[in-house]
Amino acid sequence: MRRLGMGIIGAGRVGKALAVHLARAGWRISGLFDIDIEKAELAAKAVPTGFFTGINELARRSDIIFITVYDGEIARVAEQLGELNYVRARFLFHASGILPAKILHLAGLDRAVYSLHPFGGIPLNPLEKNPFKGLYFSGEGDEPAKPIAERMTSDLGGEFIAINSREKVSYHLAASFIANHLFALLSSGESLLRISGLPEDRIQPMALKMATSALDNYRKYGLIEGLTGPVVRGDELTIAEHIIAAEKTGRRKLYEAGVVELRRMLLSESVKKQIDKGDE
């Protein structure tokens, strides 16, 4: 599999990281292409084979094409591939966590298609340290392409998990809550610490310490046993005071949404325990 030449379309964080770390794992990267040629050239400096100046050249010289552009551009790229006179690639991949692999059939080519998505954020500079190591990769698509996806995942130091293509939106929403919305909560927390009059140079360290402590509890004890704070204690007075303060800073809806979700979580666990008790 590693002998198959892989062309990567999209020289952003994911595309650049895939090119570099698959090459280091022994895969043959035929090159990268991006509509921003300077971006592709810069990314390709870390890959000996360099970059392509046109998508047609990449299609002629690649056995595998991996599309790593933004989700909204994947269909357009697939259609562009379908308009070419010759596409050597037998396998078409994309890295979207929300779109199904079958969107690549828009190319109108009789090729095996597959979606392989790393469940984790890729840093701005992913070249020195392998950002894929230890990540889960979700995959779905045509069966002939699955062994390639599994081998790529293994060589990148990740763990492969098959996903139902019909449930990818829920899967991607989960990623958004866990990774992206966490920053919204951190932003709100920092702002409130600032309002409370704490020194600016202490705000991020304090927020980071609190968040790390919460994640450590989650890792060790899970959602229910790891939860602390007024909701799990049933401290309605504190919750009411929080709502007043949140209202003053325009964050009431955000706070109340969190309280509702925590109560739903605790209620669900309580019901589960009652059912389990009844089965004894």
Over residues 245-278, the pLDDT tens digits come to: 999 999 999 999 999 999 999 998 876 666 666 5
Give the integer Cα–Cα distance in Å for 38 and 256: 46
Residue type present at position 197: G
Q: What are phi and psi of 118, to 5 degrees?
A: -75, 125
Q: Is residue 176 a contact partner of residue 184, using CB atoms and an 8 Å limit?
A: no
pTM equals: 0.88
Give the integer Cα–Cα distance in Å for 153 and 130: 12
Mean pLDDT of 127-143: 94
Q: What is the largest CA-CA distance in the chain?
A: 70
Using the predicted structure, report yes or no on whether residue 91 has a pLDDT greater than 80.
Answer: yes
Q: Residue ranges per domain, the chain?
A: 5-163, 170-279
The whole-number pLDDT of residue 274 equals 60
pLDDT band at 122 (very low <50, low <70, confident <90, very high): confident
Mean pLDDT of 164-183: 95
Give the integer Cα–Cα distance in Å for 247 and 216: 30
Q: 170-279 sits in which CATH class?
A: mainly alpha
Give the integer Cα–Cα distance in Å for 20 and 54: 20
Per the CATH hierarchy, to which homologous superfamily does domain 5-163 belong?
A: NAD(P)-binding Rossmann-like Domain (3.40.50.720)
